[in-house]
């Protein structure tokens, strides 16, 4: 189902990392938008399909 099996891992997949909605706990698999906020961080903007609440997550960029 999910391309990224990140939830149990510490490493994050910056372009497709699923996140849980902080409002209802549902999985959000596709960010509305992503932006660089620092040299090695990406901020994802989410809109939950279940409860329609917006949220953001900031994660470190994977460096090879
Ligand atoms: Zn939600």
- This prediction has a pTM of 0.65
Q: Calculate how far, in angstroms, residue 64's C-alpha sits from the geometric centre of ligand 1.
A: 32
Q: Calculate how far, in angstroms, residue 19's C-alpha sits from the geometric centre of ligand 1.
A: 10
Answer yes or no: is 34 within a domain. yes
Q: What is the count of structural domains for the chain?
A: 1
Answer yes or no: is 39 within a domain. yes
**pLDDT in tens for each of the 64 residues of the chain?**
445 544 444 444 545 567 899 999 999 988 999 999 888 898 999 999 999 999 999 988 776 6
Q: Calculate how far, in angstroms, residue 5's C-alpha sits from the geometric centre of ligand 1.
A: 20
Q: Calculate how far, in angstroms, residue 30's C-alpha sits from the geometric centre of ligand 1.
A: 13
Answer yes or no: is 48 within a domain. yes
Answer yes or no: is 36 within a domain. yes
Look up the domain containing 27 and give its range. Answer: 19-53
> What's the confidence (pLDDT) of residue 10?
43
Answer yes or no: is 25 within a domain. yes
Answer yes or no: is 49 within a domain. yes
Q: Which of 20, 64, 21, 15 is nearest to 42 (CA)?
A: 15
> What's the confidence (pLDDT) of residue 4?
52
39-44 long-range Cβ contacts below 8 angstroms, 24+ apart: 42/14, 44/17, 44/19
Answer yes or no: is 63 within a domain. no
> What's the confidence (pLDDT) of residue 54?
95
> What's the confidence (pLDDT) of residue 64?
66
């Amino acid at each position: 189902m999910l391309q990224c099996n990140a939830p149990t891992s510490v490493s994050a997949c910056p372009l497709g990392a699923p996140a849980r909605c902080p409002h209802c706990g549902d999985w959000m698999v596709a960010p509305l938008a992503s932006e660089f906020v620092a040299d090695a961080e990406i901020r994802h903007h989410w809109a939950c399909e279940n409860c329609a609440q917006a949220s953001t997550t900031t994660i470190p960029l994977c460096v090879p």
